[in-house]
Chains A and B, each alone.
Chain A
Amino acid sequence: MIGGAFFCALALTFETPFTFMSLTRQDVEKIARLARLSITAAEMPVYVASLSSIVDFVHDLSRVETGDVEPMAHPLEGLSQRLREDVVSETDHHDKYQANAPEVQAGLYVVPRVIE
C-alpha cells in the first residue's frame, strides 16, 4: 500500500515519540451528543473503533515542527469579504422555500413544544 511508503518517509523526517491514543465509548457518546446525532447501541462499537483509528491517524500531525507558522484558514488569503449596497436584492420566496418543510402551520415552522 502506497500509504505505508509515504508514512515511512514521514517517520524518517519527523522523529518524535509516537503517543498512541484511542477514544472510549464515553468519549464517542459525548461527541455524538455535541453533534446532535443519535447513535444506536448497535452502531456504537463501530464508531468507537473507526473514530479511534481516524484520531490516531491524524495524530501524526503532532510530530511536525510548526513553530510560529501562521495557521492557514483559507486558500486565497488576499481575498477580503465583499460588502454590497444595503438594498433589497431578493424577492419573497417564502412559500416556495417552505414547501420543503416537514411541517408548517400559518407560514410558521412547527416543532415539538419547547415552553410548557
Chain B
Amino acid sequence: MLHTLSIGELARRLNAGEISSVELTRHFLERIERLNPRLNAVITLTAESALIQAAAADRRRQAGERGRLLGIPLIHKDIFCTDGVRTSCGSRMLDNFIAPYDATIVGRLKAAGTVMLGKANMDEFAMGSSNETSYYGPVKNPWDITRVPGGSSGGSSAASAARLAPIATGTDTGGSIRQPAALTGVTGVKPTYGRVSRYGMIAFASSLDQAGVLARSAEDAAAVLAVMAGFDPRDSTSVDAPVPDYPALLEAPLRGLKIGLLREFFDGLESRNAGLIRDALKVYTSMGAETVEVSLPHLPLSVPTYYVVAPAECSSNLSRFDGVRYGYRCRQPKDLLDLYERSRGEGFGPEVKRRIMTGTYVLSAGYFDAYYLKAQKVRRLITDDFRRAFEKVDLVVGPTTPTPAFAIGAKVDDPVTMYLNDIYTIGANLAGLPGISAPCGFIDGLPVGMQLIGPHFSEEKLLSAAHQYQRATDWHLKTPGGFE
C-alpha cells in the first residue's frame, strides 16, 4: 500500500533500500492506468521518462545522496511548462504545444530528484471552479464521480485524493488550489504572492497567480514547498527573501497562537459546515491557541472585485495567443485579421472567451475608471481589512468553500453562481496572502475543508498549524471508496 504512505515514510524506505524509486514509480503508474479512466485527472502520461527519472534517482541515492524528495513521484498541473512534453493548459489553443523549456518550479523539483508521472487536467487556462471548462473534458471527484473535484487545479486534486501520486502541483489565482483541495479532502497550499516563481507557469492574472502544492498532508506539502519556494531572477515579481526550512518548523508550539474567526465567513454558512469549523477550532483551543472574532467588512466585495481585476489581466495576458508563433491556427484564413479572430475564436473555449471579453470591456475607453480603477481601489480596502486583522491575530480561520462538491453540470450555465464558489478564497489572492486548506470533516460523505490565511510570508505558521491539527485528527487520512 505504498500510495497510502507519507513522503517522509517513502523517503525512509527508499533510504533503507526497502524499495526503489523505480518500484515506487511503477506502483503509481499502474494506479493511474487502472484508476484514471474513472476520473480523467491525468491528461498526459509520461511513463517512459518517469522510469528513466526514477532510475536516475535510484543511482543518486546509491551514490550516497539523500533528499526528502529524491525519487518521489509527482504530477504537474498542465499549466507548468515541461520541456519536451505537451503543455496544454487545458485548452485546444495549446493542444499541440510542446513546451521548449521547464518552468522554474518544474526544474527545481526535477533537480531535487522528483519523478514526473504525467500532467494533470485543469480548467482551461485555469479559468473555472469545477474543472468543467477543460478542452479534455471534466474531471470527476473520487468521492462521488457525479460531482466536480473543484477547479481550476481539479486534475491535481482528484489525482491527489485518489492517491495517483503523492504530490500534485497546482496554481491558485482565486482559490484554484484551496477550493479543489477542500472538495476532494486533500491539503492545498497557496503561498504568498512572490514566494514561488511564476516563470514558465502560463499566465492568467499576473497580479494574483501563485503556484503551490496539493498533497495528502501539511507535512508532505511542507517538504514540497521548501523546494518550490525561493527567489528566481526570471520572475520580476519573485521576492528575494530567505525560505524557512518548513519541515523543521512544523512542531513549533501553538500555545498562545491567536486565531481570528472571520465573522463574514460564517454569515449564512450552512450549519453543518459551520459546526465542522467550530469543531476544528476546539482542537486548536485544546492545544493552547486563543480564538478572537475578527471582521473584514469589505470582504463581501472580493468576488466582484476579482471579476474585474482577473479578467482585465487575462484579456491582456491571453492576447499573446495569435495563431502565429505557436498554438492553434484556424484553417485557410482569408487575411491577418481573420487569422487572429478565428484562431482565437476556435482555439479558446466559452469560459475563456467570456473572461477575455469581460476584461476587454472593463478596460475599454469610457469604462476603465468605473470598473478597473474602482476595483483596484476596493482591492486596497480589502487588503487593508486583512492588515488590520493581522494586527490582532496571527492567522484567520474559516471555511474554504460555501458547500461541499456540487454535481457536474449544476452551475455550468450560470457564471455568476459559479464565481461565488470562490467567495472565501479570493480575498487572499487580492491581498497576496498565503492560505492553506485542510480536510476537517464530511457532510453527506463529501469532504469539507477548513481554510487558514496568514500575513505575507507566514507559510511556516500555516503549515505548522495545519500539521498539528492533522496530528490530532485523521480526516486527511480518509481515502475515497474504490481508491483504497
Q: Which of B6-14, B247-255, B370-378, B462-470 contacts the other chain?
A: B370-378
- Contact in complex: B324, A7 (CB < 8 Å): no
A1-B375 Cα distance, complex, nearest whole Å? 24
- Contact in complex: B420, A1 (CB < 8 Å): yes
- Contact in complex: A53, B377 (CB < 8 Å): no
A48-B277 Cα distance, complex, nearest whole Å? 40
Of A35, A47, A66, most buried by chain B (CB within 10 Å of CB) is A35
- Contact pick for B308, options A6, A10, A39, A61, CB 8 Å: A61
A91-B379 Cα distance, complex, nearest whole Å? 40
Q: Is B269 in the interface zone, CB < 8 Å from A? A: yes
Contacts A39-B353, A61-B371, A101-B325; A71 near B377 (Cβ below 8 A): yes
Measured as residues with beta carbon below 8 angstroms from the partner, the interface class of chain A is 35 or more
Contacts A2-B269, A79-B239, A93-B100; A61 near B360 (Cβ below 8 A): no
A5-B299 Cα distance, complex, nearest whole Å? 13
Write the nearest CB–CB distance from A106 to chain B, whole angstroms.
Answer: 16
Write the nearest CB–CB distance from A42 to chain B, whole angstroms.
Answer: 12
Q: Is B388 in the interface zone, CB < 8 Å from A? A: no
Q: Is A20 in the interface zone, CB < 8 Å from B? A: no
- Contact in complex: B100, A72 (CB < 8 Å): no
- Contact in complex: A58, B100 (CB < 8 Å): no
Contact with A along B420-437 (1 / 0, CB 8 A): 100100000011110000
A62-B208 Cα distance, complex, nearest whole Å? 22
- Contact in complex: A28, B193 (CB < 8 Å): no
Q: Give B356-379 interface residues, CB cut-off 8 Å to A.
A: 356-358, 360-362, 364, 370-371, 373-379
Interface size on B, residues (CB 8 A): 87
Q: Is B340 in the interface zone, CB < 8 Å from A? A: yes
Whose C-beta in chain B lies nearest to the C-beta of A78? Answer: B239
- Contact pick for B325, options A3, A46, A57, A109, CB 8 Å: A109
- Contact pick for B301, options A2, A39, A60, CB 8 Å: A60
A50-B326 Cα distance, complex, nearest whole Å? 30
A71-B98 Cα distance, complex, nearest whole Å? 39
- Contact pick for B304, options A28, A58, A72, A113, CB 8 Å: A58
- Contact in complex: B423, A2 (CB < 8 Å): yes
- Contact in complex: A62, B370 (CB < 8 Å): yes
Contact with B along A21-42 (1 / 0, CB 8 A): 0010001100110111111100
Contacts A3-B417, A72-B377, A109-B324; A47 near B357 (Cβ below 8 A): yes
Contacts of A69 on B, CB cut-off 8 Å?
377, 380-381
Contacts of A81 on B, CB cut-off 8 Å?
236
Q: Is B268 in the interface zone, CB < 8 Å from A? A: yes
User: 28 A-B pairs, CB-CB below 8 angstroms?
Assistant: A2-B403, A2-B420, A3-B417, A5-B267, A5-B268, A7-B300, A27-B361, A31-B360, A35-B360, A37-B341, A37-B345, A37-B356, A37-B357, A38-B345, A40-B345, A46-B350, A50-B415, A57-B419, A58-B371, A60-B304, A61-B305, A71-B380, A75-B208, A76-B193, A81-B236, A97-B100, A102-B326, A111-B324
Contacts from A to B (Cβ < 8 Å): 1-7, 9-10, 13, 23, 27-28, 31-32, 34-40, 43, 46-47, 50-51, 53-55, 57-62, 64, 66, 69-76, 79, 81-82, 84, 93, 96-97, 99-103, 109, 111-114
Known: A47-B353, A102-B329. 15 other contacts (CB 8 A): A2-B423, A3-B420, A7-B300, A9-B300, A32-B357, A35-B360, A36-B341, A38-B346, A54-B307, A57-B307, A57-B419, A60-B304, A61-B371, A64-B378, A70-B380
